[in-house]
Amino acid sequence: NTADPRDRAAGLLLGAALGDALGSRFEGMSAVRADQLDEVETSEGELRYTDDTVLTLVLAEHFAERSPGSGIQQQDLALDFARAWRAEPGRGWGGGIGHVFRAVLSGSEWSSAARNSFGGQGSYGNGAAMRVSPVALAAPTPPEAATLGLRSGEVTHAHPDGAHAAAVQGCAVHLALSTPADTALDPDRFLDRVAGCCPDSRWISLLERTRAVPRSSSPAEAAERLGNDVTAPGSVPLALFSFLRHPDSPREAVRFAIAAGGDTDTIGSMAGALAGARCGATALPPEPLRRLEGAGRLRELGTLLAG
Ligand code: R7I
Ligand code: MG
Ligand code: MG
Ligand code: MG
């Protein structure tokens, strides 16, 4: 683990993209074997990322283009997300998100576009949480990262489960970024601090459920207890668990998340952001990192946002 804030900021963004790119080979599989993971880590050719990283980059650029502390301009952000979706339809987008983006592109306010999806209840997909990690670089404290996460999330995910997931993951990444490098991570204390920043009753109980999973669980056992699907409540807990299981090894945290199967790119990405934030870019596995699409820009943005 490193104490260098720039290396940690770069690790956060690169870890998120690496987990996405490695996991995308397996999205939707019920479980992934170690030899399949070895193969994707060591094969040749570019490791392409998916929608998770496309939108993470949009959010990071949103902060990079503005002076520090200026927060989020929600209509601008919604438009930039929607333009990125329109520009790259082949990146593996969620089933309902196109409706939101189409509405924003035809002039709707983000709030009504987001509210009108899924029969008026809004999305509880994990798309708000999967892209949220840059808020940890823009907010000075974990509670402010939660607030910024919520504001970034609600522009597309109006259902509270989907929007608050972004608060939880954003604040968790901030906490990971500021954990002392030379001290063992205490999972209970970590989850307490996340819960303290995110006073949403549904998420408090999901964090409790995460805490109750035995630390020695296999990926399959953890997925059985916490879920591994494209919904926010069914994926953010497993990403947190994967990180808490392997807090000092981004490679192992991401492998655990992907081995659990299901929404592997997204759960891998969220686990990678957490572990990359704690351990830094220098702790990421060099061989797959060398082949990661967009690695130069991700590193640059991390360094820039670290200040
Ligand atoms: O949340 P979102 O952007 O999806 C992200 C996922 C990640 O796995 C990406 O890697 C990509 O593959 O997609 O997109 P949404 O379409 O808003 O939500 C994802 C899915 O969650 C939807 O396609 C639905 O299956 C489910 N879902 C809902 N189902 C019923 N009712 C989300 N909200 C609802 C709902 O209100
Ligand atoms: Mg994806
Ligand atoms: Mg997909
Ligand atoms: Mg996914």
Arithmetic mean of pLDDT, 225-233: 98
Q: What is the DSSP letter of 72?
A: -
Ligand that comes closest to the CA of residue 156: 1
Tell me which fold the domain 5-306 belongs to. Answer: ADP-ribosylglycohydrolase fold (1.10.4080)
pLDDT at 158: 98
Report pLDDT digits (tens) over 40-62: 999 999 999 999 999 999 999 99
Euclidean distance between CA atoms 261 and 228, whole angstroms: 7
Ligand that comes closest to the CA of residue 94: 1
Tell me the pLDDT band of 185, cut-offs 50, 70 and 90: very high
Arithmetic mean of pLDDT, 177-205: 95
Answer yes or no: is pLDDT of 307 > 90.
no
Determine the atom of ligand 1 nearest the C-alpha atom of 96.
16
Arithmetic mean of pLDDT, 67-91: 97
Q: Which residue out of 54, 99, 124, 270 has the highest number of ligand 1 atoms within 8 Å of its CB and is therefore the one to mutate?
A: 124
Closest CA to 87 of 64, 61, 105, 109: 105
Q: Structure tokens of 176?
A: 């990971």
Arithmetic mean of pLDDT, 252-281: 98
What share of the chain in percent tops pLDDT 90?
Answer: 97
Type and span of the H or E element at 83: helix 74-87
Arithmetic mean of pLDDT, 144-151: 98
52 lines ligand 1 (CB under 6 A): yes
pLDDT at 2: 83
pLDDT at 160: 97
Answer yes or no: is pLDDT of 290 > 90.
yes
pLDDT at 3: 84
Answer yes or no: is pLDDT of 199 > 90.
no
Phi and psi, residue 125, nearest 5°:
-65, 165
Q: How far apart are the first and last CA of the chain?
A: 20
Tell me the pLDDT band of 156, cut-offs 50, 70 and 90: very high
Closest CA to 80 of 109, 98, 101: 101
- Ligand 2 centroid from CA 131, angstroms: 10
Neighbours of 111 (CB within 10 A): 15
Q: Quote ipTM for the complex.
A: 0.97
pLDDT at 1: 82
Tell me the pLDDT band of 298, cut-offs 50, 70 and 90: very high
Output the average pLDDT for the chain.
97
Going by CA atoms, what residue is nearest to atom 26 of ligand 1?
Answer: 125
235 lines ligand 1 (CB under 6 A): no
pLDDT at 174: 98
